[in-house]
């Protein structure tokens, strides 16, 4: 028998001997949001957004993704390629057995875009925050300052150097995050949840697996209604890729540009939730 999710919380789900933990809150019978965090945060980054959505009658499932769930940390770089990350979320969607609102931030947005490409029937509405469609991002790299903004992606693929920065030279590592707009509280959360709780190397494997990720569906458009939200003070994502994004959605598309940094779910949860609720109403 399958899980009766209308009468039971989903605290974890399994795929390929890995177990992923989930924060499941809100009314059990509410329509479901699946929330995907980015780097270097955990599913706790959705706490305030979840509370607002829950108060409006929605149920939220915030997933600790591969490498972030302590019981889902495979060793090999290639185990973190995008197709594996997508199938992890698809396993949860199979468990839910109804179309969901899929919302992702940063790397979580990358996964959400690709889930929408592969499994459109499982998504009511796609909400991506900060990071546009991969094809828009790559086109911007070739025609704007995006490559310069993305220098850290190369740095994070190096063996051992990023761990050295964040674990042995934390003032330098934390300075990089502070420059991106992270608050003191977020830096403390990072130190505790990512560094001290041993998630750093497996989280960095998302970057190290980029060479193993297929590009065959790179330019495929998304065919589900999409809301894209970006902060104009985002240090990682430039305006050019945002401008190109609409070309990769063949469905109702709405774009919101906020007076915000990259860290919208944590720093702008109230405004973010309002835009989402207005869009899906």
Region 201-208: mean pLDDT is: 97
- Reduced to 3 states (helix: H, G, I; strand: E, B; else coil), residue 74 is coil
274 confidence band (pLDDT: 50, 70, 90): very high
CA dihedral 109, 110, 116, 118 (to 10 degrees): -160
Residue 206 lies in a domain: no
Domain of residue 24 covers 12-146+213-280
Residues with Cβ within 8 Å of residue 6, at least 6 apart in sequence: 28, 29
Q: Say if residue 275's pLDDT is above 80.
A: yes
pLDDT of residue 213: 84
Give the chain's mean pLDDT. Answer: 95
pLDDT attached to residue 170? 86
> Number of structural domains, the chain?
1
Greater confidence, 203 or 214? 203
Q: Does residue 166 belong to any structural domain of this protein?
A: no
Q: What is the mean pLDDT of residues 19-44?
A: 98
Report yes or no: 102 and 59 within 8 Å, Cβ to Cβ: no
pTM, 2 dp: 0.96
DSSP H or E run through 203: helix 200-208
For strands 18-25 and 59-63, give the pairing: antiparallel
At 99, which CATH number?
Answer: 3.40.50.1820
Question: Is residue 198 in some structural domain?
Answer: no
Question: Do 63 and 43 contact (CB within 8 A), yes or no?
Answer: yes
Q: 169 vs 128, 173, 184, CA distance in Å?
A: 33, 6, 17
Query: Residue 217: inside a domain, yes or no?
Result: yes
In a domain, 269, yes or no: yes
pLDDT at 234 over 90: yes
Across-strand partners of 13?
20
Task: Tell whether the model's pLDDT for residue 136 goes beyond 50.
Answer: yes
Residue 64 lies in a domain: yes
In a domain, 188, yes or no: no
**Residue 222: pLDDT band with limits 50, 70, 90:** very high
Q: Name the strands in the sheet holding 32-36, side by side, starting at the edge strand that comes first in the sequence.
A: 12-15, 18-25, 59-63, 32-36, 100-105, 123-129, 226-231, 253-258
């Amino acid at each position: 028998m399958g899980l009766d999710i209308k009468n039971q919380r989903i605290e974890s789900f399994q795929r390929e001997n890995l177990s992923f933990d989930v924060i499941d809150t809100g009314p059990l019978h509410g329509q479901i949001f699946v929330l995907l965090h980015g780097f270097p945060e955990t599913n706790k980054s959705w706490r305030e957004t979840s509370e607002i959505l829950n108060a409006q009658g929605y149920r939220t499932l915030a997933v600790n993704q591969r490498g972030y769930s302590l019981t889902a940390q495979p060793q090999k770089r290639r185990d973190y390629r995008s197709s594996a990350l997508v199938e992890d979320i698809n396993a949860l969607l199979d468990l839910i057995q109804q179309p969901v609102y899929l919302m992702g931030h940063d790397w979580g947005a990358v996964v959400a875009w690709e889930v929408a490409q592969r499994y459109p029937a499982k998504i009511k509405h796609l909400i991506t925050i900060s990071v546009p469609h991969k094809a828009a991002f790559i086109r911007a790299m070739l025609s704007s300052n995006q490559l310069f903004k993305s220098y850290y992606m190369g740095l994070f693929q190096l063996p051992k150097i990023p761990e050295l920065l964040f674990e042995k030279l934390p003032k330098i590592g934390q300075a990089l995050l502070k420059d991106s707009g992270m608050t003191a509280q977020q830096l403390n959360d990072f130190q505790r949840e990512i560094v001290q709780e041993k998630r750093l190397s497996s989280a960095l494997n998302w970057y190290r697996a980029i060479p193993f990720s297929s590009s065959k569906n790179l330019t495929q458009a998304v065919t589900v209604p999409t809301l894209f939200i970006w902060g104009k003070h985002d240090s990682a994502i430039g305006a050019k890729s945002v401008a190109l994004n609409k070309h990769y959605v063949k469905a109702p598309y709405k774009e919101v540009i906020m007076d915000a940094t990259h860290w919208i779910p944590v720093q702008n949860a109230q405004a973010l939730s309002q835009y989402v609720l207005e869009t899906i109403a």
